[in-house]
Structure 1
Amino acid sequence: MYLLGLGLILLVLKYLAWGVVAQWSWWLVLSPFAAAVAWWTWADNTGYTKRKAMERDNKRRDDRRARTKAALDANFAKRKR
């Protein structure tokens, strides 16, 4: 996402002819988009994206289980009194 943001900023600066970016070649201005495509291709082909999604799902599941267990323990402690 950072590469896309950088690419959009550079694209707008080049279009508006703002500062030093106005003198850069279009290849340099558009290179963050190519880098983003390369990153996404690598991430999808190596399984990085899927692995990160699974880690996020596992953390969410573990957090939910911990909250449920804490709530059950609190209810159990109240009943024993």
Structure 2
Amino acid sequence: MYLLGLGLVLLLLKWAQWGPVAGWAWWVVLAPFGLAILWWAWADASGYTKRKAMEREAARKAARVDRQRDALGLNPRKRR
């Protein structure tokens, strides 16, 4: 996501002909988009994306179980 944001900022600066980016070659300005594509391809191929989604789901499930236990009064009281 950071690479996509960087690419958008560089593209805007190149389009507006502002600062030193105006003199840069187009391939330098568009390189973050290519790197973002490579990152997403690697993340999907390696299972990184799926693993992070499973971790988020497990955390949501644990939080839901804890809330239900608190509502039922099954959690031991915390010491003060």
TM-score, length-scaled by structure 2: 0.90
- Give the Cα–Cα distance (whole angstroms) in 2 for the partners of residues 4 and 15 of structure 1: 16
Q: Which residue of 1 aligns with 2:62?
A: 62
Q: Unpaired runs of 5+ in structure 2?
A: 75-80
Letter in 2 for 1:49: T
More helix by share: 1
Residues paired across the two proteins, number:
74
Q: Which residue of 2 aligns with 1:15?
A: 15
TM-score, length-scaled by structure 1: 0.89
Q: CA RMSD in A?
A: 0.9
1:46 matched to 2:33: no
Query: Whose radius of gyration is greater, 1 or 2?
Result: 1
Q: Unpaired runs of 5+ in structure 1?
A: 75-81
Q: Percent identity?
A: 59
- Give the Cα–Cα distance (whole angstroms) in 2 for the partners of residues 27 and 65 of structure 1: 51
Once the two structures are TM-superposed, the CA of residue 36 in structure 1 deviates from its matched residue by 0.2
Deviating runs (4+, > 2 A) in structure 1? none
